[in-house]
Amino acid sequence: MVRSALRHRTSVAVAAIAAAALLLTGCGGQGGAEDESAPPASSAPEADQVDDKPADEEPEEEETEPAEEIVLEFGDESDQVRELQARLAQLDHFAADPTGYYGDVTVGAVAGFQEAQQLEVSGTVFESTWAAITELSTAPSQQELYPPQLVMGYGDNNDQVRELQARLIQLGHFDEKPTGYYGDVTSSAVRAFQQSAGIEATGQLDESTWSALKEQTSAPAQDDMFPPIEVPEVETPANLDERCMTGRALCISKTTNTLSWVIDGQVKTTMDVRFGTEEYPTREGEFDVYWKSRNHHSTLYDSPMPYAMFFDGGQAVHYSENFAANGYNGGSYGCVNVRDEAAIAALFDEVREGDKVIVHW
C-alpha cells in the first residue's frame, strides 16, 4: 500500500513536471514566431545605448562674433547722410555738395576713405567706419551741410559770364574785355568784389554774391558784353583762295604760312602759322569749325592746345608755346599752330562754330 502510494505520488509529480515543461515550450514557440519582426519590449533606442552623457547636457556650440551693425548704406536718405557727406568733404573724399542721398558717389567716397584708413573696403558705413570718420573730422557747420548754390563757377563759358564780367567792369574789379569764360581772372575779380562787399571771398559766384552784385550795378548793354574787337588793317594776300571770298572763313595758306580771318572777302587779321611734320601732315581742303575749346589739353599727346578750334577730327587751329619759342624749327602733330597768343585769343572770341576753314597751297 505504501509502495503503491509512493508510486502514485511519483507519477503525479512527473506528470506535473512534464505538463509544466510542455506549457513552457508552447509559450516560447508562439512568442518567438510573433516577435521576429518586433524589437524586444525591454530593448532601448540605439542612440541611448551609445550615449553615455547625462540626459540634461546639451552639445557645445562654436562661439561666433556678432555681425557689425550698419550705420548707413546705399539708398539711405537722411540728415545723417548729409552729415556723412560733409565730413567726407572735410577729409577730401567727397567733392560734390551734400545732398542727403546715399548714392553711387557716396559709395565711392566711403570706399576711398576705407581704403585710405586700411579698413575693409565695402562702400557701406559700418560702426567702425563711422567711428573713424567722426574721429578724423569735426561736426560740420550749417554752411557745410547746406552750402550756397552756385550761379556760376570756374570753367563756365557762356553769355551769363559775359554779363558778370561787364558788371564787374562797372565796379572796377575786371580790367579786360568780357570773354564769357570764367577763369582765373574772373575768379580773382569776383573775390575782390566779395571782399569789398563783406562777403566770404571764395571766388565762386553764389546766389548771395550775385544778388549783391546786381544791386550795385546796372544791366550791361549788348556792346558792353560784346565789345568790338580792334584788329589791324592788313593788305589782302595776293594768293587768297577763292573759297575764302564768301561768308566767314579761316583762310590758311601753306604757301605763305599764314592764317587770314576773312569775312565776306575782307581780311580782318592775318597771323603766322606752322603746320604738321611730314609724318603728321596737316590735311588740305574745305572744313568747318565743329568745336571750340579754350583751355584744351591733348590727351593723345599730353600737350596743351589753348584756344583750340577743331575743324577735321583731331586737327585744330590753336596757340603753340613751342612755336612761339622755337619758330619754324619743328612742327605739329597735324594741327595749325599760331605763335601770337593775343591774336589767337581775340580770334577765338570772334570765330563761331560752323565757320569755314580753308587749308590750301
Q: What is the pLDDT of residue 67?
A: 86
Domains and CATH numbers, the chain: 70-145 (1.10.101.10), 150-225 (1.10.101.10), 242-360 (2.40.440.10)
**What is d(CA 175, CA 347) in angstroms, rounded to the nearest whole number?**
19
Provide the 3-class DSSP secondary structure of residue 267.
strand
* pLDDT value at 292 more than 80: yes
DSSP 40-73: -TT---HHHHH--S-TTPPPP----PPPPPEEE-
pLDDT average, residue stretch 181-190: 90
pLDDT in tens, 240-287: 888 999 999 999 999 999 999 999 989 999 999 999 988 889 999 999
How confident is the model over 53-61, as a mean pLDDT?
Answer: 58
CA distance 90 to 104: 19
Per-residue buried b or exposed e for 158-178, using 16+ beta carbons within 10 Å of the residue's own CB: eebbbbbbbbbbeeebbeebb
Of 174, 170, 269, 182, nearest in space to 214 by CA:
170
pLDDT tens, residue by residue, 63-99 = 677 889 999 999 999 999 999 999 999 999 997 789 9
146 vs 155: which has the higher pLDDT: 146
Structure confidence by residue, pLDDT tens digits, 85-140: 999 999 999 977 899 999 988 998 999 999 999 999 999 999 999 999 999 999 99
Active site residues: 318, 335
Query: How far does Cα 236 stand from its chain's mean position?
Result: 51
- pLDDT, residue 154, reads 80
Q: 3-class DSSP state for residue 9?
A: helix
Quick one: what percent of the chain has pLDDT higher than 70? 79
Pick the range with the lowest mean pLDDT from 23-32, 69-78, 124-133, 351-360: 23-32
Is the per-residue pLDDT at 56 higher than 70?
no
Can you name the residues that pair with 257 across neighbouring β-strands? Answer: none
Query: Is residue 143 within 8 Å of residue 90, measured between CB atoms?
Result: no
Per mean pLDDT, which range of 65-69, 168-172, 237-241, 291-295 is the poorest?
237-241
Q: What is the C-alpha to C-alpha distance for residues 166 and 173, in angstroms, rounded to an integer?
A: 10
Output phi, psi for 328, to 5 deg: -85, 10
Identify which of 276, 296, 281, 283 has the alpha carbon closest to the alpha carbon of residue 358: 283
Dihedral, CA of residue 59, residue 60, residue 62 and residue 65, to nearest 10: 120
* Residue 196 grid coordinates: 569789398
Quote the pLDDT of residue 193.
97
Pick the residue with more confidence: 239 or 324? Answer: 324
pLDDT digits (tens, 9 = 90+) for 209-225: 999 999 999 999 999 99
Residue 30's Cβ-side half-sphere holds a number of Cα atoms within 13 Å equal to 5
